[in-house]
Amino acid sequence: MHPNLDHPDFIDCSDLIQALNNCHDNLSFMERQFKCNNISEDVKRCLHEARMLRRRQNNKEGRERTARIGAFMSRMRERDDEDYEVARQMAMKELASREKSWK
Q: What is the pLDDT along the chain (103 residues), one digit of tens a residue?
A: 566 666 666 678 888 888 888 888 888 777 777 788 888 899 999 989 988 998 999 999 999 999 988 888 787 777 666 667 777 788 888 888 876 665 4
Burial of 16 (0-12, 13-18, 19+ CB in 10 A): buried
pLDDT of residue 81: 65
pLDDT, residue 5, reads 66
Amino acid 9: pLDDT: 65
- The pTM (predicted TM-score) of the whole model is 0.60
Q: How many angstroms separate the CA atoms of 62 and 70, rounded?
A: 12
pLDDT of residue 55: 93
Asked if 17 and 5 touch (Cβ cutoff 8 Å), the reply is yes
- 55: nearest Cα among 11, 9, 98: 9
**pLDDT at site 24:** 82
What is the model's pLDDT at position 59?
94
